[in-house]
Structure 1
Amino acid sequence: MPSIITDEDFQKFREFFYRKTGIQFENTKRYFVDKRLLERMEATDNKLFRNYFTMLRFQASGEELQTLTNLMTVNETYFFREEYQFKCLVDSILPELVSRRRNDKPLRIWVIPSSSGEEPYSIAIYLLERWADINRYDVEIIASDIDTRILESARAGLYGDRAVSHLPEAYRQKYFKRSAAGYQLIDDVRHAVEFSRVNLSDRADTRAFRHFDVVFCRNLLIYFDDVSRKAAAETFFDALNPGGFICLGHSESMSRISSLYRVRKFPEAIVYQKPTE
């Protein structure tokens, strides 16, 4: 059996994981972190933490770091969560975007983290059902996550009862096929979302993500410290077109993170906008 994780071990790992992912584990998460570290030490036949930690830092492929990251990130959501922001997207944000559009480029939406896909798929369904102009414009939905395992689950589009419990019954019947395995999302909606692995704290990962009109980053920045939140705000600023919008979780405020954005108070929600100039 692997040895215990000492306080010094925990501090070393916490600092390393923070540098790699931007996620800061508080002392209250100690049991959660230790349990997963011990699981991976045993799986990789490392009885001492220092041996496992050396492998984690210097493994050329980065495979073990990715495996551990998958275990350390919590992914729990459901369809139509915080629906008021989808209503804001359809009733306020998109009409403003298309009113000043001067070309036929697609409208681009970035969802990060994608988790198991409920949020980006919710956006696709909401647009199909609630946006009258959906057939007039090409819309691209790109969803990203640091967890490769959860991305595979998202692409599969298979969900349990809890995930679809907030959907109207008519939508469940229209967009899912019920089976013994759960609710299988139809192919037309699954293929409307492109999934990709991205580490928000790695500029090399995020550099390719540009020219978005809307970003949904909900309930992620609460896991970051002030420095990482500010860096994330700058990453999103670079990713957005001038005049583009970012939607955060209900307990998050861009005003407390960065002065780069304008606060926009729409009837449905408060969102944040990259200035047009």
Structure 2
Amino acid sequence: MFTITNKEFKQLADYIKINYGIHLKEEKRTLVAGRLHNVLIQNNFKNFSEYYKHILSDKTGDATATLINKITTNHTFFMREAEHFVYFKDKVLPYLKNMLKDKDLRVWSAGCSSGEEPYTLAMIIDEFFGKEKMWWDAKVLATDISTKVLEEATKGVYSNEEISTLPCNWRLNYFKKIGNGKSVPVDRIRNEVIYRKFNLMDAVFPFKRKFHVIFCRNVMIYFDAQTKRELVNKFYDSMEYGGYLFIGHSESLNRQETRYRYVMPAVYRKE
């Protein structure tokens, strides 16, 4: 396996931190070298210095896309931290249904990984509104920096074991079997999720209208305190008053530093 020197690791770590906010600690050095090993072999690079120069000089974006696909960890599953979805269904949606006279509900799944979270949100919204859903614009925006997981999410192919944690009526109503023990969301759900590549480190978020709900769970664990603080401020500025921010249970916001009000573990509100 290729050895990565202190200088080479620092170059890559600094590049990833500046451009994507991900803070790679020293203990991740072996992991980084291992995940990038085949990339160096396939491109005939002699060392990580050559690879780093290639990243900087590549104008196509392919090199950085490969780097991010290799470095990021995209572990998720249906109904992860399920109490968030219960709160979204029982508290958030009833409030927004009464508040939004224009019937324009804006939900963002930031760091959507392979699609389990945004599809779950789409199913909850569909079930909640029922026949009234046809009068609502309630699509879910789902974003990630990894082209690999966005491709997986767009295809939406899940094993029957992966969807086994979902309620039985959801599996029957919202999925169709495609053989080989695989299922995909029905078009009614698939069409309610819009997938886009997006970097949360962008200085300005380009959204024309503000969100009512933002899910960004188990993403900020990879950021240092300043990056996390800056991102939360951007979320706040991109959210309507009365909106909700859901983060991962392993994450928390400093109540002295955030303008959000704490609601319950890993749930905050803009007031």
The superposition leaves residues 154-198 of structure 1 with CA deviations (integer Å, 9 ceiling, x where unpaired) of: 011101244212112332222222211511221111111000000
Deviation at 1:95, TM superposition (A): 2.2
Structure 1 residue aligned with 2:18: 19
Question: What is the CA–CA distance in structure 1 between the aligned matches of 2:40 and 2:22, rounded to whole Å?
Answer: 21
TM-score, reference length from structure 1: 0.89
Moved more, 2-11 or 242-251: 2-11
Structure 1 residue aligned with 2:269: 273
Q: For structure 1, list consecutive stretches of 5 or more residues without a partner in the other structure.
A: none
Change (3 A) 1:133 1:107: farther
Structure 2 residue aligned with 1:201: 201
8 Å contact from structure 2 (residues 220, 251) kept in 1: yes
Change (3 A) 1:209 1:203: farther
Structure 1 residue aligned with 2:110: 112
Question: What is the CA–CA distance in structure 2 between the aligned matches of 1:129 and 1:10, rounded to whole Å?
Answer: 48
Change (3 A) 1:171 1:95: closer
Moved more, 104-113 or 74-83: 74-83
2:188 equivalent to 1:192 = no
Structure 1 residue aligned with 2:96: 97
Question: SS of 2:139's equivalent?
Answer: strand
Structure 2 residue aligned with 1:123: 121
Question: What is the CA–CA distance in structure 1 between the aligned matches of 2:157 and 2:93, rounded to whole Å?
Answer: 29
Question: What is the CA–CA distance in structure 1 between the aligned matches of 2:57 and 2:153, rounded to whole Å?
Answer: 30
Question: What is the CA–CA distance in structure 1 between the aligned matches of 2:256 and 2:9, rounded to whole Å?
Answer: 28
Question: What is the CA–CA distance in structure 2 between the aligned matches of 1:257 and 1:74, rounded to whole Å?
Answer: 30
8 Å contact from structure 1 (residues 233, 258) kept in 2: no
Change (3 A) 1:147 1:273: same
Structure 1 residue aligned with 2:249: 250
Change (3 A) 1:77 1:38: same
Question: What is the CA–CA distance in structure 2 between the aligned matches of 1:4 and 1:78, rounded to whole Å?
Answer: 34
**RMSD of Structure 2 on Structure 1 (CA):** 2.1
Question: SS of 2:213's equivalent?
Answer: strand
8 Å contact from structure 1 (residues 80, 166) kept in 2: yes
Deviation at 1:30, TM superposition (A): 1.8
The superposition leaves residues 100-132 of structure 1 with CA deviations (integer Å, 9 ceiling, x where unpaired) of: 33x415110000111110000011112223456
Question: What is the CA–CA distance in structure 2 between the aligned matches of 1:71 and 1:193, rounded to whole Å?
Answer: 25
Deviation at 1:81, TM superposition (A): 1.6
8 Å contact from structure 1 (residues 146, 199) kept in 2: yes
Question: What is the CA–CA distance in structure 1 between the aligned matches of 2:70 and 2:108, rounded to whole Å?
Answer: 24
In the alignment, residue 216 of structure 2 is paired with which amino acid? C
Change (3 A) 1:131 1:83: farther
In the alignment, residue 180 of structure 1 is paired with which amino acid? N
Change (3 A) 1:134 1:216: farther
8 Å contact from structure 1 (residues 118, 163) kept in 2: no
Deviation at 1:257, TM superposition (A): 8.1
Structure 2 residue aligned with 1:86: 85
Q: For residues 34-113 of structure 1, what are the structure 2 equivalents within 5 Å?
A: 34-101=33-100, 103-113=101-111
Deviation at 1:209, TM superposition (A): 6.3
8 Å contact from structure 2 (residues 215, 245) kept in 1: yes
TM-score, reference length from structure 2: 0.91
Moved more, 28-37 or 12-21: 28-37
Deviation at 1:217, TM superposition (A): 0.5
Change (3 A) 1:43 1:88: same
In the alignment, residue 250 of structure 2 is paired with which amino acid? S
Question: What is the CA–CA distance in structure 2 between the aligned matches of 1:215 and 1:257, rounded to whole Å?
Answer: 21
Identity %, equivalent residues: 34
Q: For residues 169-180 of structure 1, what are the structure 2 equivalents within 5 Å?
A: 169-178=168-177, 179-180=179-180
| Aligned positions, number | 269
